[in-house]
Amino acid sequence: MTLRTEIKDGVALVTLDRPERHNAIDLDTAAELGAAWRAFRFDDSVRAAVVTGAGGRAFSSGLDRSVDVPQPPSPYSLDDPLLRIGPKANDLWKPVIAAVDGMACGGAFYLLGEAEFLIASENSTFFDPHTTYGMVSAYESIYMAQRMPYGEIARLALMGTAERLGAPRAYEIGLVSELTAPGAAAEVALRRAAVLAAQPTEAVQGTVRALWTAKEAARTQALAQAPQLIALGNLPPDRQAGLFATRTRHGGQEGGREDGREDGRDGGPPVR
């Protein structure tokens, strides 16, 4: 199992448990996430949830680059295992808080984009490596564009691995709702989730659904364009692999692989 779930006092703690791979999401993890959210729909003992990553170094580095996902030849179709990893994609309307300790990048945004709010340790960083490796940031950018000012997500997505958004700046722009000491994000998120779990669950779920309704139409229309944008804009896989193989040290960590640095210190790109 690559996912741990613990339920206590109405709150489910969902932990991505692949710390040796920076909690990169492989096909098994993707399937387990979807199954967990669907199970919570029927479990009256769960009234709120927290999703986090094990190890303290990363929330998640996105899709594991070792995963082989065959694609249909049509530019109008796309098989993306991350499309079903979020709670809303699995019709769960119980509130979910994301607790970020360390790095969150790329495909991690699928999960962050479907959480009610984010709590992050002050040493956490956010980045999106897609453009650096010849890939279109479509789903990731769409999810985060609904959580961040346009200029901030544009800078994050377009500059690829050269840009790191630090937790203090993420708090300033509203992406993160609360900062914690290093290593304390999950603990604080569990306390906030306990408050949510203590409210009448019907009212809480209805409020979650109402909040999502406010932005659902625009999000649905935007996501419908993503497969074609990716098919037209992505470099061929061999060219992507070549770019990844020759990445510089400041390229950071992505897809469960490590280059030795997690942020912009020691001469790397600035962390804002």
Residues 191-225 as b/e (b if ≥16 CB within 10 A, e otherwise) read: ebbbebbeeebeebbeebeeeeeeeeeebeebeee
Mean pLDDT score, 31-39:
98
Residue 52, domain member (yes or no): yes
pTM of the model: 0.89
Residue 236, domain member (yes or no): no
Residue 206, domain member (yes or no): no
Residue 258, domain member (yes or no): no
Residue 61, domain member (yes or no): yes
| Confidence tier at 269 by pLDDT (50, 70, 90) | low
Q: What is the CATH number of the domain that holds 146?
A: 3.90.226.10
Give how far the C-alpha of residue 48 lies from the chain's centroid of Cα atoms, to the nearest Å.
18
| Confidence tier at 252 by pLDDT (50, 70, 90) | very low
**Residue whose tokens read 């109008």:** 76
| Confidence tier at 237 by pLDDT (50, 70, 90) | confident
Total domains in the fold of the chain: 1
| Confidence tier at 267 by pLDDT (50, 70, 90) | very low
pLDDT for residue 249 is more than 60: no
Tens digits of residue pLDDT in 2-24? 999 999 999 999 999 999 999 99
- 14 burial (CB, 10 Å; 0-12 / 13-18 / 19+) is buried
Residue 26, domain member (yes or no): yes
Residue 259, domain member (yes or no): no
Q: What is the mean pLDDT of the chain?
A: 90
The whole domain housing 32 covers 3-182+244-251
Nearest to 51 by CA among 109, 111, 132, 122: 111
Residue 196, domain member (yes or no): no
Looking at the DSSP bridge assignments, the partners of residue 96 are 49
